[in-house]
Structure 1
């Protein structure tokens, strides 16, 4: 369940010192339209690449696809450019949600979700699901340009209304597509996995990893027809130094969007999965983890859900989970804290109760 951006860049006032930025990287995070952010820290070029849905207000390009920002320091960012544009004649008509990029077998692969509301699927009660799925594109360089694979057909079966597909490579080196199965089709959204071959094509049946209502903090969202539905969004994986497999994912709680985390009791993709306390509340979510070039574990997510901006956190690998250390407000210039944290660069190291 997503909302489209308004075609208007969101600008905020920042201190004069923050305005002194390199000409090739003139943007700060509060000036950047983004939703479902995904950052690749490319060691070869010492550059961070942030992928998100293309917004015409930012690139001047009206095509449906993915845009990419770049940065050397996670604070100052280039103007975005289109890294992938959906070719004409493809089944999809809208979307370009949740783009993410992974290295695989010497190439870079883009996973991103599209849909066509006119391509209806069998109804579920009063709800009318339609075709939605994650497609694959490939490039020789991390920042593209990307070209579609298999004519843009979804990786998961097209009869399933799915979104936010991510690549997970298990301990044996086997690739999997892990995705959210949309509540419009399932009522209770699920996180599911399907095995892939070396060409990243599906080669087996989907399996359910868990359901949204297994998380104590997740709340059903009442629909106009009286139904309660549970949302699943944005699965992302991380294996801790102690070998624990955790999954970031998002849903809705009592007060909006939430960045959740689950842990595999077996250390394997098949689980069973247990739900931990959320990482971030306050209408925040669809996060992912990456390593900064100085070695810090970082998380990027968007908040709020509508007219979203990027937010960065310094994280801790706690062995059996990951934890928020603090908000990296020196990078994202966030004025409204989301998490109990020690604010840096203050005389008293004041702890803010959020």
Structure 2
């Protein structure tokens, strides 16, 4: 009987301890929960890679980007947020606390999809020179609502585990099939590439292998210095986003560098499909220090481009979202004035 009493005492103590722990972690979680700000001007938000979805169903603009957070606005000028949007699986390759980069929201077949880059800093997949390559890949989450939460689907991975990939975006090609277009990072291959991979009809996974579209070195405008101080093409591919002009021409905006200046250019497909060949325009399309753009149409029908710029404050670099009006009515994308 005494042994039985000791057992129940131990069990009660364990339950009590678990309750205390749960209470403690609930308090910590509540303390860590970030406050939601209201009526924040766009240029007061600090956000890399801003991507905006104009959701007709709710009459709301939803902005996301790097960090896994979400902002909402009725007019593109004043924003409420940030809200948590992505719910990843802690038991997946991403780990319990992945970094989230360059998220985009896309509506497709009555659902909403969250294309983003996830990095598990605790997993090293390769070492190239002095660079330790972390496990990083583009991936897709799904939700029934634009505001989320966005959760994993069927496939554990979309892209090879031994390749660092990033900045995945969405496109339906002329063959009617859905694709992810993404960057294979220069840290491993030395010359960043733009690639595509076919997606399953419900976007729950990928089909086959990735295919090369073009290389960073194909750019006539991006450049950096080699070890001898001579100009050479920059090695970075960043931030692809696809569009059609009114004439039906297929284009892709993407970003690299001119020395230390973040810069965005554009390429056009001669075939009108993702297979290209892709012809790079000779000059950048945005002013210096703007990049990682995407395009969306306002509820009034105006086409806008969202980008971010870099600014140094007390030796710290901050990134600020910015909108530009664009013209797609001709055969090329033309960037107009700031919005």
**2:71 counterpart of 1:51:** no
Q: Distance in 1 between matches of 2:45 and 2:61?
A: 15
CA shift digits 1:291-344 (9 cap, x unpaired): 01111110000001731011010101143211111112xxxxxxxxxxxxxxxx
Which of 251, 264, 282 is residue 288 of structure 2 equivalent to? Answer: 282
Task: Report how far residue 41 of structure 1 moved.
Answer: 0.6
**2:186 counterpart of 1:183:** yes
Equivalent residue pairs, number: 293
TM, length-normalised to structure 1: 0.77
CA contact (8 A) 1:244 1:319 kept: no
**2:209 counterpart of 1:209:** no
CA contact (8 A) 1:187 1:228 kept: no
Task: Report how far residue 117 of structure 1 moved.
Answer: 3.5
Q: Distance in 2 between matches of 1:218 and 1:97?
A: 23
Which of 125, 146, 152 is residue 148 of structure 1 equivalent to? Answer: 152
**2:93 counterpart of 1:91:** yes
**2:306 counterpart of 1:300:** yes
What are structure 2's unaligned runs of at least 5 residues? 1-33, 312-316
CA shift digits 1:4-45 (9 cap, x unpaired): xxxxx9xxxxxxxxxxxxx99410012212111110011122
Q: Based on CA coordinates, which of the two structures has the bigger radius of gyration?
A: 2
Structure having the larger proportion of residues in strand:
2
CA contact (8 A) 1:37 1:300 kept: yes
What are structure 1's unaligned runs of at least 5 residues? 1-8, 10-22, 55-65, 329-354
Cα RMSD, aligned residues only: 2.4
Task: Report how far residue 130 of structure 1 moved.
Answer: 2.8
Task: Report how far residue 90 of structure 1 moved.
Answer: 2.9
Once the two structures are superposed, the pairs formed by residues 229-248 of structure 1 within 5 Å of their partners are: 230-248=235-253
CA shift digits 1:208-247 (9 cap, x unpaired): 1011111111113668xxx986111111010111010000
**2:272 counterpart of 1:262:** no
Once the two structures are superposed, the pairs formed by residues 130-145 of structure 1 within 5 Å of their partners are: 130-145=134-149
CA contact (8 A) 1:164 1:234 kept: yes
TM, length-normalised to structure 2: 0.80
Structure having the larger proportion of residues in helix:
2
